[in-house]
């Protein structure tokens, strides 16, 4: 092998060895670089952590600064609170000291209050005693005053007003009578044979009788009346607020006097002694005219002595004429009661006709057939029966008699359709049982209710319009008809008239009487008829006595009549004969 080749081989071997060494060096370097990169990565991580820790450290440092600042502020506040607490403790100590002072003052004040309360209780007890003493003195004063009044104005035995108080009340009553127009009366009462009683069984029994008489008289009077004892066995009774009409006032005074007489006539028990005593009463009336007290007492006293002269146990009026009237009135009332018991009444019948003269009905008019005085007109006894209440049994008799007559007429062909009108009084119509009374009569006699007509006056309806309408409507439902009697003579208010369930209006005879000669009466009749036509009411004229009156009424539109031209009120026998004729 040549030297050059060897040199080359050496060079190549050296080169391979160098390359191998280089590869190994590169591997070592690569390894070192890899380790270096690892260290760099770890250093970066460590630096990051260190940076984070530094950042957290800075935050903690900042928080520490804030916390130190807050702590410094809290320390400062604590020092301030401590200072304030010192001040508050000083203030509290001051307040406690003041409170102790107030407590001490309150103890003193309570002691003072307790002392004052004790003193006040003493004063109250003293005041109670003083008030009791004052009340006792006032009671004693009132007793003395009452006793003085009793002595001055009242009779010590009977406790009734004495003459002095009676005179005062009588003067007041006279003034009231002048103002109101109502009459009054003075009754002078004296016991019959009182002196004999005193002389026989003694004054104590006499006094006991006077006491009982006083109580009995007082029990007979109204609240407005006065009874006084003016001495001995003399009593005076003052009646006030009687009627404005003289005759009625006299009747009222008579009724009260009778009541007293009856009460005083009852037996007395005077300790162990039974006793019967009568009395005499004198009556005088006073009215709107000026009267003197003493004059009235004297008049009543004179009338009382007149009663004694006639035997006692009676009543006499100062005015002789008035006495006659009162006696007649009292007798009439007694006879009326007998007439009711014995049925001395009769219905007379006055025919009612239409335009052709045909009988369409009748009005039943009551008459009193007195066994001694004969026929008595209702104008003489109806007003008295109204005042005394006797109109109620009389009215009941009229309703039943009318229904009985309708029953009889229904059984005859020529009277079957006749209606019958009867008058109803205000007192009777106002009774709560009136509707039942009419219904019972209709049922009892089994009559057609439409044939019964009740005639009412305007004054009756005005008393209580609503109640009147209710009563009328109830009876209308049964079939009963109503007529307004004496139309135009009262207060005819269209306001209430249109509400009434009327079937008929009756023209009063006062407008018919002069209808031929008086244009005013004719105009009134014309107006009534026109109004009735507008309200769809039937019209009948009463008191028709001449053909001229009938013709005028017919021309004006009235086609039903009642009056002497067609027939007077007559007994049933004459009435039925006239129908047949």
Both 247 and 98 in one domain: the answer is no
CA nearest neighbour of 449 among 409, 419, 422: 419
Cβ-proximal residues to 556 (8 Å cutoff; 6+ apart), any chain? 522, 525, 526, 529
The residue from 108, 126, 153 where one domain ends is 153
Q: Which secondary structure element, helix H or strand E, spans residue 134, and what is its range?
A: helix 3-153
Q: Which secondary structure element, helix H or strand E, spans residue 297, and what is its range?
A: helix 293-309
CB count in 10 Å sphere of residue 131? 11
∠ Cα 176 179 184 (to 5°): 45
Both 374 and 523 in one domain: the answer is yes
In-domain check, residue 254: yes
Q: Which secondary structure element, helix H or strand E, spans residue 369, and what is its range?
A: strand 359-370
Number of domains into which the chain is organized: 3
In-domain check, residue 20: yes
Both 14 and 136 in one domain: the answer is yes
The residue from 112, 132, 153 where one domain ends is 153
In-domain check, residue 39: yes
Binned average pLDDT, 10 residues per bin, the chain of 581 residues: 73 80 85 87 85 86 86 87 84 85 83 84 82 81 68 90 95 92 95 83 89 96 96 95 91 95 94 88 84 89 90 88 74 93 96 95 96 92 90 97 97 94 93 96 97 88 80 96 80 69 92 92 92 92 95 94 96 94 72
In angstroms, the CA 272 to CA 187 distance is: 32
In-domain check, residue 473: yes
CATH number at residue 271: 3.30.70.270
In-domain check, residue 431: yes
CATH number at residue 489: 3.20.20.450
Both 289 and 170 in one domain: the answer is yes
Both 371 and 497 in one domain: the answer is yes
Both 393 and 526 in one domain: the answer is yes
Is the distance from CB of 442 to CB of 473 less than 8 angstroms? Answer: no
Kindly list the distances between the CA atom of residue 531 and the CA atoms of 459, 468, 510, 524, 534, in Å, as whole numbers in the listed order: 20, 22, 18, 11, 5
Q: What is the per-residue pLDDT for 549?
A: 95
Q: Please, where are the H alpha helices in 389-492?
A: 391-410, 426-429, 434-445, 458-463, 465-478
Q: What is the per-residue pLDDT for 60?
A: 87
Both 308 and 340 in one domain: the answer is no
In-domain check, residue 329: no
Both 44 and 92 in one domain: the answer is yes
Both 289 and 361 in one domain: the answer is no
Both 246 and 202 in one domain: the answer is yes
Both 149 and 167 in one domain: the answer is no
Q: What is the per-residue pLDDT for 229?
A: 97
Enclosing domain of residue 276: 163-318
Q: What is the pLDDT of residues 231-245, one digit of tens each?
A: 999 999 999 999 999
Q: What is the per-residue pLDDT for 263?
A: 96
Tell me the whole-structure pTM to 2 decimals: 0.58
Q: Is 367 helix (H, G, I), strand (E, B) or coil?
A: strand
In-domain check, residue 325: no
In-domain check, residue 331: no
The residue from 91, 120, 153 where one domain ends is 153
Both 270 and 400 in one domain: the answer is no
CA nearest neighbour of 279 among 333, 216, 186: 216
């Amino acid at each position: 092998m040549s030297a050059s080749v060897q040199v080359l081989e050496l060079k190549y071997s050296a080169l391979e060895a160098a390359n191998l060494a280089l590869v190994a060096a590169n591997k070592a370097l690569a390894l070192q670089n890899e380790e270096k990169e690892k260290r760099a990565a770890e250093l970066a991580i460590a630096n990051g952590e260190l940076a984070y820790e530094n950042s957290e450290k800075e935050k903690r440092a900042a928080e520490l600064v804030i916390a130190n600042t807050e702590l410094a502020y809290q320390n400062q506040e604590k020092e301030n609170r401590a200072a304030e607490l010192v001040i508050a403790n000083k203030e509290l100590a001051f307040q406690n000291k003041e409170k102790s002072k107030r407590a001490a003052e309150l103890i003193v004040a309570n002691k003072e209050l307790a002392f004052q309360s004790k003193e006040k209780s003493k004063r109250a007890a003293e005041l109670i005693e003083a008030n009791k003493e004052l009340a006792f003195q006032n009671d004693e004063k009132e007793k003395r005053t009452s006793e003085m009044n009793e002595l001055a104005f009242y009779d010590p035995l009977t406790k009734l007003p004495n003459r002095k108080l009676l005179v005062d009340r009588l003067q007041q009553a006279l003034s009231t009578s002048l103002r109101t127009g109502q009459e009054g009366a003075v009754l002078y009462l004296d016991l019959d044979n009182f002196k004999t009683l005193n002389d026989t069984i003694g004054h104590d029994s006499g006094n006991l009788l006077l006491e009982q008489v006083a109580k009995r008289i007082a029990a007979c009077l109204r609240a407005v009346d006065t009874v006084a004892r003016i001495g001995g066995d003399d009593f005076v009774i003052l009646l006030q607020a009687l009627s404005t009409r003289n005759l009625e006032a006299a009747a009222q005074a008579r009724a009260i006097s009778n009541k007293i007489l009856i009460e005083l006539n009852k037996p007395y028990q005077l300790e162990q002694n039974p006793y019967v005593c009568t009395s005499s009463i004198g009556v005088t009336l006073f009215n709107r005219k000026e009267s003197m007290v003493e004059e009235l007492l004297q008049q009543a006293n004179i009338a009382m002595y007149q009663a004694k002269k006639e035997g006692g146990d009676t009543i006499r009026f100062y005015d002789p004429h008035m006495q006659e009237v009162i006696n007649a009135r009292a007798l009439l009332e007694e006879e009326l009661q007998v007439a009711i018991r014995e049925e001395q009444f009769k219905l007379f019948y006055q025919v009612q006709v239409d335009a052709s003269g045909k009988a369409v009905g009748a009005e039943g008019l009551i008459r009193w057939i007195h066994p001694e005085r004969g026929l008595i007109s209702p104008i003489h006894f109806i007003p008295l029966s109204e005042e005394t209440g006797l109109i109620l049994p009389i009215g009941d008799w009229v309703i039943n008699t009318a229904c009985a007559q309708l029953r009889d007429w229904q059984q005859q062909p020529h009277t079957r359709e006749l209606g019958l009108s009867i008058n109803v009084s205000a007192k009777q119509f106002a009774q709560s049982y009136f509707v039942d009374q009419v219904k019972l009569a209709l049922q009892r006699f089994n009559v057609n209710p439409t044939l019964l007509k009740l005639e009412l006056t305007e004054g009756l309806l005005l008393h209580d319009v609503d109640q009147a309408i209710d009563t009328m409507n109830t009876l209308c439902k049964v079939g009963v008809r109503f007529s307004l009697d004496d139309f135009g003579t009262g207060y005819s208010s269209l306001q209430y008239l249109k509400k009434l369930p009327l079937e008929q209006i009756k023209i009063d005879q006062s407008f018919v009487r002069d209808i031929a000669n008086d244009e005013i009466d004719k105009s009134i009749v014309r107006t009534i008829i026109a109004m009735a036509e507008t309200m769809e009411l039937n019209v009948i004229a009463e008191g028709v006595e001449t053909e001229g009156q009938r013709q005028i009424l017919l021309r004006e539109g009235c086609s039903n009549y009642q009056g002497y031209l067609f027939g007077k009120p007559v007994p049933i026998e004459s009435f039925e004969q006239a129908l047949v004729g």
